[in-house]
Amino acid sequence: MTYDQHLTTLPWSDYELLDSGENMKLERFGEIIVARPETQALWKKQRPEIWEQAHAVFAFRDKKGAWDVQRPVPETWEVSWHTARFSAALTGFKHTGIFPEQASNWEWAAAQIEKIENPKVLNLFGYTGIASVVAAQAGAHVTHVDASKQSLDWAHDNARRSGISEDKIRWLLDDALAFAKREARRGVSYDGIILDPPAFGRGAKGEVWKIEEALPELLETLKESLSDKPNSFFLLNGYAAGYAPRAFAQAVESTFGPVAGESGELFIQESSGKRVIPAGIYVRFVR
């Protein structure tokens, strides 16, 4: 395992981090500009004059957050990344359903999939499904698992927008750990496994997920389901879980043993090219 291999998302046609600072970030998703809280942005804003362009600003009042819409914003609008198309929306959790820091991992996963014959990929905690769409477009048959029906519907819509045929992705409303255990018992294997577990969550039947308790068990379970095919891959992401990249990397190594992989932080670079925002951590390896 190679540590401290940080990945940086650069602006693309439908996304850019315009500016950041004073615990906020200003981003453009397609034609819509949003300002959101960002605890990592301890510095001063570099372009304070452009913040007036924001269509919506997410603000906390009395410990509750909500969007202040300053210019008309559609209920949903379309954003693309290469040939993948997906819808963005202003959610009550301050995000838009799109996580641009994952762009480097989308590219990496697609590259691995293209090397595997008849690849099968499992996407746990699949959320809005961009990784599933990218995997399917690269040639994989994908099993997408999430415990939220709203998220599952959103992901399914993203697949339709991207022209993915219905037989390419299997959509399952389920608890990630419970599903993984069933697949291991059945002897089902996957050539690629992608997971982005939250720090805390609930399964489809109210199962409680606490990352500090459940992640080691999930990793042990997934070890049984990762194919031995050459170029089979494993990708673990972490967001807002409070862990360092080395912690995730060592958890993976303690389960899978020595692997040909890398780990580090995920950054998003401002369009000025001068600063980055830390946006998560990752571990990934290839057989």
- Six token digits for residue 246: 């080395």
- Whether residue 151 is found in the same domain as residue 204: yes
Q: Looking at the 3D structure of the chain, how many domains does it have?
A: 2
Q: What CATH number does residue 34 fall under?
A: 2.60.40.1180
Q: What CATH number does residue 170 fall under?
A: 3.40.50.150
Query: Taking the CA of residue 118 as centre, how many other CA atoms within 13 Å lie in the half-sphere pointing to its CB?
Result: 1
Q: Residue 241: pLDDT above 90? A: no
- Whether residue 50 is found in the same domain as residue 127: no
Residue range 195-225, pLDDT digits in tens: 999 888 888 778 887 888 999 999 999 999 9
Quick one: average pLDDT of 143-147?
97
| CA quadruple 231, 179, 197, 253: dihedral sign | negative
Q: Which domain holds residue 210?
A: 98-286
Total count of residues recorded for the chain: 287
* Cα-to-chain-centroid distance, residue 181: 22
- Whether residue 46 is found in the same domain as residue 115: no
Q: Residue 265: pLDDT above 90? A: yes
What is the rounded CA–CA span in Å between residue 195 and residue 201?
14
Q: Band of the pLDDT at 149, cuts 50, 70, 90?
A: very high
SS3 42: coil
Residue range 267-283, pLDDT digits in tens: 999 999 989 999 999 99
Residue 35 lies in a domain: yes
- Whether residue 67 is found in the same domain as residue 118: no
Q: Residue 138: pLDDT above 80? A: yes
Residue 84 lies in a domain: no
- Whether residue 118 is found in the same domain as residue 165: yes
Residue 89 lies in a domain: no
- Whether residue 110 is found in the same domain as residue 252: yes
Q: Residue 240: pLDDT above 80? A: no
Min mean pLDDT across 34-38, 61-65, 77-81, 133-137 is at: 61-65
Alpha carbon of 37 to those of 23, 94, 104: distances in Å? 6, 8, 23
